[in-house]
A and B are shown apart, each in its own frame.
Chain A
């Protein structure tokens, strides 16, 4: 029976009906100030010339989530690009970009619910980007004066050279690790939000009103695929795109 329950149980974009009002309401309420803050921060940092980059980030997030990756046991998952976009755009513009992708997925394609939109944005656009980006920053700047060679009398060329080489191992390892941890956090939040429904809501007959599986089922069911496959896919995608951008558009790499 457990086996049947685990079969096909992968929900990263939580649909309507799985979360009860406390959870979806709470996460909408949590997302509202986050969106407002993200808009303010984006206003401070985003230049008109960077609008195409914002659109590019949102488009990438939308498309990459269409690539369902099969996992043992009949589940599928996908990368989100949230950490990568935060590395390229900055955290707060990334929250906005991934949120836009999630809104269109929910409204037009029914991929993720409308009541659950706050939850999905909280998990994938906010928490994943925040933690993924934080891990990236910590690793990429560790034991390394991050601004070395930026000011002073160095020429443009050697400056660009420093930037390029400083992007090598540490930045890529930071991006990969951040992406891996970020998506696993989003998956874990999803599992917890689904799993607590049996505790929060029961009908008159005592049976769950919403997602009927407890934490001890949702957490392993969702985390297994992310720890062993989808997290690695997310890390690989992020690193490969960064390697490509470093070659083709080094000016896009923020320091």
Chain B
């Protein structure tokens, strides 16, 4: 459990981050790209034939700073893969930081369970 003993597993997380573009490339290979997973207003209008009123209001509830792991202007090709990796790095850093904070708040100072 000691931090240093987990080194190999952290390297594994690093490798996974470097490989994340596969999560964009594979879907691109199998179809003509486009938004994967969730629909924005335009797609929903195309598919359902109209935009539900409540949907319209709520869908603008929050503007995420790095929406869909994509940086503005980096939305295709090599740049989108780079952006995806950078998003992975930022996301993992934030998740790890918050986990350590939460862990410090919760964990017992000493002793074994």
Residue positions of A touching B, CB distance < 8 A: 4-5, 7-13, 15-18, 20, 39, 42-60, 62-64, 66-70, 74-76, 78, 96-97, 100-101, 103-111, 113-115, 201, 203, 207-213, 245, 248-249, 251-252
Residue positions of B touching A, CB distance < 8 A: 1-3, 5-6, 8-10, 13, 16-17, 19-20, 22-24, 26-27, 29-31, 34-39, 43-44, 47-48, 50, 52-69, 84, 87-88, 90-92, 94-96, 98-100, 102-104, 106-113
Contact between A210 and B99, CB atoms less than 8 A apart: no
**Closest-CB distance, A160 to chain B (whole angstroms):** 16
**Total A-B residue pairs with C-beta atoms closer than 8 Å?**
230
Contact between A52 and B92, CB atoms less than 8 A apart: no
Top 9 nearest A-B pairs by Cβ distance? A110-B64, A17-B59, A209-B54, A51-B103, A55-B99, A70-B30, A17-B55, A17-B58, A67-B23
25 A-B residue pairs with Cβ-Cβ distance under 8 Å, sorted by A, are A17-B61, A20-B54, A39-B106, A47-B1, A47-B108, A48-B107, A51-B100, A54-B100, A57-B99, A58-B95, A59-B99, A60-B13, A60-B16, A63-B88, A66-B88, A68-B36, A70-B29, A104-B95, A104-B98, A110-B63, A114-B61, A209-B53, A212-B50, A213-B48, A248-B8
Cβ–Cβ < 8 Å partners of B35 in chain A: 8
Chain A's closest residue to B35 (CB) is: A8
Contact between A108 and B20, CB atoms less than 8 A apart: no
**Closest-CB distance, A214 to chain B (whole angstroms):** 12
Contact between B99 and A58, CB atoms less than 8 A apart: yes
Q: A17-B55, A17-B56, A76-B37 are in contact. List 19 more A-B contacts (CB 8 A).
A: A39-B106, A45-B113, A55-B96, A56-B9, A63-B92, A66-B88, A67-B16, A68-B23, A68-B27, A100-B102, A107-B62, A108-B90, A109-B64, A109-B67, A115-B58, A115-B61, A209-B52, A210-B58, A212-B55
